[in-house]
Amino acid sequence: MKAVLIAGDRSGSGKTSITLALSALLAQEKNVQTFKVGMDYIDPSYLTAASGRPCRNLDSFTMDTATIKNIFSNGCRGADLAIVEGVRGLYEGAEAIGDTGSTASIAKILDLPVVLVVSARSITRSAAAIVRGFQTFDPKVRIAGVILNNIKGDSHREKAVAATEHFCKIPVIGAIPRTGEMELAMRHLGLVPFREGAQNEEFRRRIEIVTQIIGDHVDLDRFRSSMKECAVKKKTPEIFRRNTQADVRIGLALDEAFNFYYADLFDLMPALGADVVPFSPIHDRLPEADGYIIGGGYPEFFLPGLEANERVRSSLREVSSNGTPVYAECGGLMYLTDRIRIAKDRDGNAVERSAEMCGIFSGETRIPARRVVSYVEGSGSRKSPFGAGRFRGHEFHYSDVVLANDTEYAYRLSRGTGIRDNYDGALFRNTLGSYTHLHPMASRGMFARFVDLCRKKA
C-alpha cells in the first residue's frame, strides 16, 4: 500500500478541495482510505463520500502514538492507497513551541511524505520562499511535492513553478487555477456534513466540478510517485478485535440532526461486546436498548421534526429516569435540555423561535452564542457513567446551554470552556451530557466503562 499526507501552508490554502478531488479521482480505480488530522467531523464526511470508505481521524493531542498507528493500520486494511488530509497549516498545533496536535506530528509518527498545498495568489518567487521555509523548519518532515493553488494565468503559473522547483529541488505536481466556478462549488458545500439522501446528488455535482478542475491541473503520476510504500498488517489490531459475543444493545441517534460520530466508534462498540442500533429522533421510535448514545450535530436546523416526535422525547425521559445509561455530546446535550431557543437565523436576522426538547436537564439552549473551538482537557468524577480519570477531547459550538444552579457536573476542565465555569458533563442519574467530544479510541477506557454500566443495568 502507498500513502501520503496533504498539508496546507495555512487555513484556506485549498487543501480540502484538493484532497477531496484527488481521493475521488483515485477511487475510480483503487481502494482509497482517507484520514483527517484533528477532531473535525465535516471534512471526514466529505472524504467518506468521495472515497466510499469511512474516513478516520488522527490527532496527536487526544491520542498517543500507539493509538494513532493502530487507527491508521486498521483503516488501511484492504486499501491500495491512503491519503491523509492535514488541518490548518502544516505546523499549527495545540502549542506555540511543541508540535502536539499538528499535521507535522502525524507526518512524523506515521513517517509519511508531505505534499504541501500553497496558496500562490499574487506571488511567484515568494511561493518558493514559503516552501523553502517549510522544508527547513523541521528537517524530520519530508516535503515530497508541492501543489500551487490560486494561479492566475499562464505567466503566473510558469514563474511560480519554475521558482519553486529551482530553489526547493522538489516537483510541483499541480498548479490549480483561481476560478469562480471552483470557489463557488466549495463555498456551497458549507459547514453541513454530507449525508446520504436528498443531499447526495447535489454534493456529487459540486464535487464533480472541483474534481474536473483539479484533475486537469494535477499530474496524477507525479502525485502517486510522491507516495511512500507502507507495510500494513492484514490482521485487525488487537484493540479493535471482538473478544466477546455481543451481549449489550446500544441505541445510537443517527439522522440528519445527529451524525457527528468518529468512524472508529462503530469498530470499538463490537470490540466491547455491544451491538449498535441506529435510530432517528426525528422519524423513529426509541428502540429497546441497554444504553443510548446521542452524538453531536445540528439539532437547531431540525427543531420542528425533533419537537413533533414526542414519543422519542418522552421515552428518553423515561429511560433516563429509570437509570438507563445515556451519553450525549454537544448537539445531543442540547437535545436533552428543556428547549432550544433561537434568537437569530442563519443569515443573522433577528427571530424568536423555540422548540421543546427532552427536558432531562433542567434549563435551555440559547442560540447564537460566542463561538467556542478548543481542545479540552479535564478529569471525570466517579459518579460519571464514564468513570473517574483524566481525558482529552475537543469542543466546537456556538450555543450556550444554561442549566439550573443545582445541576451536578461530572467533568472539571483544566482546558476548555464546557457548560459553565469550566465544568462540563451535566449529570442526571446515569445520563451524561457534555459539550466535550471524546474520541472513542483516545478514551477507550471511558467507553468500556459505559458499556459495562449498560451491561450491569440490562
Rounded to whole angstroms, how far apart are CA atoms 325 and 332? 14
Mean pLDDT, residues 102-131 taken together: 97
**pLDDT, average across residues 216-228:** 96
Q: What is the CATH number of the domain that holds 283?
A: 3.40.50.880
Query: What pLDDT does 40 receive?
Result: 93
- Confidence band of 260 (pLDDT split at 50, 70, 90): very high
- Residues 222 and 251 placed together within one structural domain of the fold: no
Question: Strands, DSSP E only, in 46-137?
Answer: 56-58, 81-89, 114-119
Taking 50 as the threshold, does the pLDDT of residue 188 lie above it? no
Domain interval for residue 29: 2-229
Residue 103 lies inside a defined structural domain of this protein: yes
Of the residues 200, 229, 258, which one is the last residue of a structural domain?
Answer: 229
Q: Looking at residue 127, what is its pLDDT?
A: 97
Q: Which residues contact 448 (CB under 8 A, 6 or more apart)?
A: 272
* pLDDT for the residue numbered 199: 57
Phi (first) and psi of residue 334, to 5 degrees: -60, -40
User: Do 402 and 314 share a structural domain?
Assistant: yes
300, 447: one domain: yes
- Burial code (b: 16+ CB inside 10 Å, e: under 16) for 228-256 equals bebebeeeebebbeeeeeeebbbbbbbbb
Report if residue 237 sits inside a domain.
no
Distances (CA, A) of 299 to 127, 175, 256, 356: 43, 40, 8, 12
Looking at the structure, do residues 204 and 260 belong to the same domain, yes or no? Answer: no
Rounded Cα distance between 378 and 384, Å, is 13
CATH number for the domain harbouring residue 128: 3.40.50.300
Which of residues 197, 229, 261 is at a domain's end?
Answer: 229
Q: Is residue 53 part of a domain?
A: yes
**Which pLDDT value is given to residue 350?**
87
**Would you give the end-to-end CA distance of the chain in angstroms?**
43
Beta partners for residue 339, in sequence order = 356, 364
Nearest-10 crossing angle of helices 103-110, 65-76: 70
pLDDT in tens, 296-353: 999 999 999 999 999 999 999 999 999 999 999 999 999 999 999 999 877 778 888 9
Residue 196 has pLDDT above 70, yes or no: no
pLDDT above 70 as % of the chain: 95
User: Could you report the per-residue pLDDT of 388-446, keeping only the tens digit for each?
Assistant: 999 999 999 999 999 999 999 999 999 999 999 999 999 999 999 999 999 999 999 99
Q: Which secondary-structure segment (H or E) carries 457?
A: helix 444-457
* Within-domain flag for 235: no
- For the stretch 358-388, pLDDT in tens is 999 999 999 999 999 999 999 999 999 999 9
- 278 HSE (CA, 13 A, CB side): 10
* Mean pLDDT, the chain, integer: 93
Q: Per-residue confidence at 5, pLDDT binned at 50, 70, 90?
A: very high
CB neighbours of 29 closer than 8 A, spacing ≥ 6? none
Q: Tell which of 195, 229, 263 closes a domain.
A: 229
On whether residue 236 sits in a domain, the answer given is no
Determine the Cα–Cα distance for residues 60 and 71; give it in Å rounded to an integer. Answer: 12
**Quick check: is 442 in a domain?**
yes
Q: Is residue 95 part of a domain?
A: yes
Same domain, 315 and 421: yes
Q: How confident is the model at residue 179 (pLDDT cuts 50, 70, 90)?
A: confident
Q: Is 168 noted as a catalytic residue in this protein?
A: no
Position 458 pLDDT exceeds 90: no
DSSP codes of every residue in 305-331 = HHHH-HHHHHHHHHHHHTT--EEEETH
**Exactly one of 55, 230, 330, 454 is catalytic; which is it?**
330
Same domain, 283 and 317: yes
Check whether residue 320 and residue 398 sit in a common domain.
yes
Number of domains in the chain: 2
Residues 246 and 172 in one domain: no
* Same domain, yes or no: 193 and 288: no
The residue written with cell numbers 477532531 in the block is: 39
> Do 246 and 119 reside in the same domain of the chain?
no
234 occurs within a structural domain: no
Q: Are residues 30 and 106 in the same domain?
A: yes
Examine the domain organization and report whether 267 and 216 are in the same domain. Answer: no
